[in-house]
Structure 1
């Protein structure tokens, strides 16, 4: 173990490499810039190699520094995970999660209590948005968006290929034995997704009349509530429909589903700060419930 570098030196090296600055590393670690610089000089002295190229304007890593960094980062992460697993976290952590409002209410919220019960030291702050392009005034730790996966401000990870199915009250469901019956049933349309019903009819080989009765809603959440009140039939996420069916609020009269046309993505922005383990825990849970 005599060749093992000082852990403080390694922490300073990892932080400076990630942030590209001794000053920023010092702020993150609660040290002075001089202390971080000293730690890295001592580490370089012990290893016998320069890990950084220093200039007045920029701090860059050497090739040997780049090669060393993944091992250091992995060791620090595994130590943090092992410590938390064996001894528990000392303080609770609040994770800010943004998701489409209908996904938040219909999918995430019903399953959140069970997650919080299993992870008592994680608090979740939910922020809802109708449109993926909505700019928030606060930073978020996790950003779930509905769209085509192409956003200029981050990398999008596909969570699932979403499908939609018709839903209505259990009593109305008894009257809908085939897709043809929808031609005589009030339909609930969602603003921004007006093509959903035309695509559904086309998939079933049907053409609805121009004067077909319809109700308009601005969110899937509102459409689901209208359907539950007996206003007609709505097309909503299949996973949400199944959960609503299990509660008895809504029924799924037809098994035929079609692609939503947009999908849920986890958008990762280019943050230079290390992702907290609690954030990764919530992300893994979201990957599971939204898959």
Structure 2
């Protein structure tokens, strides 16, 4: 099909000339000479086999075929422009891709993004979330934040935080933790055991519901269902945001932490990447 289409440059020239009704004005808008505009139009007309303009002294008008063709050309150019803008963004936007564990992205970073964008309106932050850090193949990620113990091979890991865990339950729930439905978060099997050992309380031997992220667990708890042991920073952020949840016990420090991860041998970061990286460090330090 593409071999039957006219040259895109000719179509852009036709649209400008038809809109401005003047070859010279169209040339000025497109950065072309009047002769180049005329040549583009003649080439397009030869390709289509019909005249698109009625050429009269000091009076340029569209032919009937030109009038019929113009809306289709304009719509096609508009669609192409919108698609390009949507996929790649305007030229003045500088994009930085930040990969973060999904619960950290949703519960911790997302509420802080408006402040970031207010301070850096010309910088686009692309947030890529994963449940486990290694669940994606290598991709074009500018900044990689992981949750773990900092022992991943082939990377340099800079510690951003220390963490603690805490049981969280619905805000209006007064029953002891042991009497509420325990929620299990996949991949965090030892949270209950660590908390129980530190506080000298019984650990559930079975769970009523299992979910795959802390974000899902907090949503269920906010809806009045169950109790879970999650990172304390997530609970504090949820309470500050007005979510109907509360801490159901004291915090217990754990070895788990968030790390800024960089692959060995990577080139120095772009200026905008350094800006986002400094912001991320400040967010976790605060």
TM-score (structure 1 length as normaliser): 0.63
Instruction: For 2:99 and 2:127, locate their aligned partners in 1 and report how far apart those are by CA, in whole Å.
Output: 6
Instruction: For 2:104 and 2:266, locate their aligned partners in 1 and report how far apart those are by CA, in whole Å.
Output: 28
Counterpart check, 1:274 vs 2:268: yes
Mark the CA change 1:137 to 1:152 in structure 2 (over 3 Å): closer, same or farther.
closer
Counterpart check, 1:204 vs 2:199: yes
Instruction: For 2:116 and 2:249, locate their aligned partners in 1 and report how far apart those are by CA, in whole Å.
Output: 30
CA deviation vs aligned residue, 1:136-188 (integer Å, no higher than 9, x gap): 3521000001111011121000001111222222111xx14xxxx21111111
Q: Which has the larger radius of gyration?
A: 2
Maintained 8 Å contact 1:162/1:237: yes
Instruction: For 2:234 and 2:205, locate their aligned partners in 1 and report how far apart those are by CA, in whole Å.
Output: 29
Q: CA deviation at 1:91?
A: 3.4
Q: CA deviation at 1:209?
A: 5.5
Q: Secondary structure of 1:133's match?
A: helix
Maintained 8 Å contact 2:177/2:248: no
Maintained 8 Å contact 1:188/1:234: yes
Mark the CA change 1:272 to 1:144 in structure 2 (over 3 Å): closer, same or farther.
closer
- In structure 1, the gaps of 5 or more residues are 1-89
CA deviation vs aligned residue, 1:25-49 (integer Å, no higher than 9, x gap): xxxxxxxxxxxxxxxxxxxxxxxxx
Instruction: For 2:159 and 2:109, locate their aligned partners in 1 and report how far apart those are by CA, in whole Å.
Output: 17
Mark the CA change 1:273 to 1:252 in structure 2 (over 3 Å): closer, same or farther.
same
Correspondence for 1:93 = 94
RMSD: 1.9
Q: Secondary structure of 2:245's match?
A: coil
Q: Secondary structure of 1:222's match?
A: helix
Maintained 8 Å contact 2:182/2:209: yes
CA deviation vs aligned residue, 1:246-283 (integer Å, no higher than 9, x gap): 22213323351123442110001234433111111111
Q: Secondary structure of 1:152's match?
A: coil
CA deviation vs aligned residue, 1:85-133 (integer Å, no higher than 9, x gap): xxxxx93310000000010100111101110111111110111111112
Aligned counterparts, 1:159-198, within 5 A: 159-172=160-173, 175-176=174-175, 181-198=176-193
Correspondence for 1:135 = 136
Maintained 8 Å contact 1:188/1:227: no
Correspondence for 1:118 = 119
Maintained 8 Å contact 2:192/2:203: no
Q: Secondary structure of 1:115's match?
A: helix
Correspondence for 1:80 = none
CA deviation vs aligned residue, 1:216-258 (integer Å, no higher than 9, x gap): 1111111111111111112222122112112221332335112
- In structure 2, the gaps of 5 or more residues are 1-90
Deviates more, 1:264-273 or 1:150-159: 264-273
